[in-house]
Structure 1
Amino acid sequence: MLDALTGFGSDPGSLRANTYIPEGFPDNGPLVVVLHGCGQSAESYNNGSGWSTLAEECGVALLFPEQRRINNLLGGFNWFEPGDSHRGLGEPLSIRQMIRQVVDDYAIDPTRVFITGLSAGGAMTSVMLATYPEVFAGGAIIGGLPYRTADTLMQAIFRMKGYGGPSDRRLGALVRGASMGAGGWPTISVWHGGRDTIIHRSNAESIIWQWQRIHKVKGPPTRVEQVDGFPRRVWCNAGKRVVIEEYIIRRMGHGTPISSRGDDGLGEEGKYMLEVGISSTRHIARFWGLTPETPRSVRRERPTVFYKSTA
């Protein structure tokens, strides 16, 4: 059960906020912000993804911003609206205010704040990472879209289907200009279904190109691995730090990849919560250093050339 967070600021985006703080949560612990997709609630996304279970295991505080139907009939975040995609405005400012309140209330380590989301929540994750990069150590975008790929509902529909969009160079410039030089760039984790018919997988490629320019890691991945039977592509910077990772889950449609069975199982199957044998929640937490566990099965392969899709 999540707890409501109130009084967190002016809330210009008119959002709800919920938290999950595990028992015995220590001072200077980490915070993960979790954004649900359309047709979901904070509770349903938490139940499906298993974030609160992992929070108990690893001592992680959770913040769940939640959309109101009065703002969006589908219950999704308004990632494409100009008033909800810029620093200091609308929904991004509301989420920033929530984060500030939770950080203060629970003595969160401000250098260990992370954000993830699915679909519209994934697209809003892109917004938050671009507009408030200094706030986040890392972000994970699941079935989402790049920052400022659309500025109207009609554009959003076309981009979701994989049509049009800013050039690769423009995508990078949009992120660079979004935070007014606030500084600091988070690491990026990208997850997408290979058979996603709601948000075309070319959007995952565009997210990679957008952040390759920010992290100065253009070109093919540094390495390719097999993790729990799925390919993981990794880009490392000049200091050999992993700054971008990507999982394309073949044969998966639109949703969050989960693995709910066995000793390491998390979450439960449901609408847009897809049982595919790999837990994005657990692997994202590992990528962020929130759990000491090593992936169960990692096989390294030779790097492959990164081609732009013509779709």
Structure 2
Amino acid sequence: MSQFQVVLRCFFISLSLLSWFPVALGAANSLIQIKDFGLNPTNVTFYLYVPSKLQAKPPILVNPHWCHGDASDCFKGTQLATLADTYGYLMIFPDSPNTADKCWDVSSNATLTHNGGGDSLGIVSMVKYTLAKYNADPTRVFSMGTSSGAMMTNVLLGSYPDIFAAGSAWAGVAFGCFAGNGYDVWSNACATGTINRTGSEWKAIVEAADPGYSGFRPKMQVFHGTADTTLNPQNLQEEIKEWTAVLELPSTPVKTLVDYYEKGWTTYIYGDSFQATSAAGVTHNIQTNETVVLDWFDLTCSGSKCYSRPS
């Protein structure tokens, strides 16, 4: 695929996503741009949403945007910022430095390596800044994204399992699927669903991101439409194989829920730390269900008994 075809494809993805997402009405405040926040080798731009009333030790939700979108589009794209005003969590809206197509770097060796650089390190620096500045809860840091943002969510959980407590990825691909030792590499093989690996092979790729790490692994939920022609639905199966292996869960679901979370969606439960949802007839423009995201991250909870990673 030529660079022109990649840009054109991402352009149409962007248009369709922007026409699908509702406008975030009612957010009490505007985004704040933070310019000096630590290591940022690729110059990712940092926008922060701070609700008027924060929890005493607020959680952090990172929300990377989709291709050809930006932080402002993502801020307006769901009701998550408005809900932050109700529940008192902080939101980080990173903005891709890639002017060609605004897709995230989910392919370079740097971004796929713990403390290796790339866009992922810049985003983690935003998290560390926010933790210190707002006395936020380091055990309750989450990432949620759609399309390229879902790919980055997979990358963040794979490269920085010491930072995140959970992820929610909507129409993305497995960690390492786009790997190409280059910045913003388009993998046609991954996009078309022809990269098929065993769970053990995927697990080895994730563990190679931080070979010395043996601690807690964040929980994950993944979603994919069966009519997605941009990122083939086979990518859901690859995410399932990857995260069940990494999290040491059964390779087959322990429970199957039909018409859940939406009518026509089937959700497969593999354990408390991983679930996968196949949305029948849904294209790449899968709509975020904010209630599902908040429930998975337990963001409506405050106090000492909320879901969190071990201290």
Is residue 288 of structure 1 aligned with residue 294 of structure 2?
no
TM-score, structure 2 length as denominator? Answer: 0.80
Mapped partners of 2:141, 2:84: distance in 1:
14
Q: Name the structure 2 match of 1:24.
A: 53
Superimposed CA distance per residue, residues 133-163 of structure 1 (whole angstroms, 9 cap, x where no aligned partner)? 0111101111111111232277612201111
**Which of residues 156, 159, 169 is equivalent to 2:187?**
156
Structure 2 CA distance for partners of 1:114 and 1:174, relative to 1, 3 Å: same
Q: Name the structure 2 match of 1:207.
A: 239
Mapped partners of 1:120, 1:154: distance in 2:
12
Cα displacement (A) at 1:213? 0.7
Match for 1:122: what amino acid? A
Aligned length: 264
Q: Name the structure 1 match of 2:309.
A: none
Match for 1:178: what amino acid? A
Superimposed CA distance per residue, residues 5-50 of structure 1 (whole angstroms, 9 cap, x where no aligned partner)? 2201131021101111111112311110001110111111221222
Give secondary structure in 2 for the equivalent of 1:235.
strand
**Which of residues 31, 34, 52 is equivalent to 1:5?**
34
1:79-118 matches, within 5 Å, as 79-88=106-115, 89-118=117-146
Contact residue 162 and residue 201 of structure 1 kept, 8 A: yes
Match for 2:233: what amino acid? R
Structure 2 CA distance for partners of 1:47 and 1:256, relative to 1, 3 Å: farther
Q: Name the structure 1 match of 2:249.
A: 217
Contact residue 86 and residue 127 of structure 1 kept, 8 A: no
TM-score, structure 1 length as denominator? Answer: 0.80
Contact residue 98 and residue 104 of structure 2 kept, 8 A: no
**Which of residues 136, 139, 162 is equivalent to 1:134?**
162
Contact residue 192 and residue 248 of structure 1 kept, 8 A: yes
Give secondary structure in 1 for the equivalent of 2:287.
strand
Match for 1:231: what amino acid? T
Mapped partners of 1:117, 1:93: distance in 2:
17
Mapped partners of 1:5, 1:109: distance in 2:
19
CA RMSD of aligned residues (A): 1.7
Cα displacement (A) at 1:129? 0.5
Mapped partners of 2:34, 2:112: distance in 1:
23
Match for 1:227: what amino acid? Y
Cα displacement (A) at 1:119? 1.4
Q: Name the structure 2 match of 1:255.
A: 285
**Which of residues 261, 268, 273 is equivalent to 1:233?**
268
Match for 1:87: what amino acid? H
Cα displacement (A) at 1:248? 1.6
Cα displacement (A) at 1:57? 2.0
Contact residue 224 and residue 231 of structure 1 kept, 8 A: yes
Q: Name the structure 2 match of 1:269.
A: none
Mapped partners of 1:101, 1:141: distance in 2:
24
Cα displacement (A) at 1:221? 1.1
Match for 1:249: what amino acid? A
1:31-110 matches, within 5 Å, as 31-70=60-99, 73-88=100-115, 89-110=117-138
Q: Name the structure 2 match of 1:270.
A: none
Contact residue 144 and residue 203 of structure 1 kept, 8 A: yes
User: Which runs of 5 or more structure 1 residues have no equivalent in the other structure?
Assistant: 237-241, 259-278, 293-311
Mapped partners of 1:19, 1:61: distance in 2:
8
Query: Which segments of structure 1 move beyond 6 Å, counting only runs of 4 or more?
Result: none
Cα displacement (A) at 1:178? 1.3
Structure 2 CA distance for partners of 1:227 and 1:118, relative to 1, 3 Å: closer
Q: Name the structure 1 match of 2:275.
A: 245
Mapped partners of 1:10, 1:132: distance in 2:
15
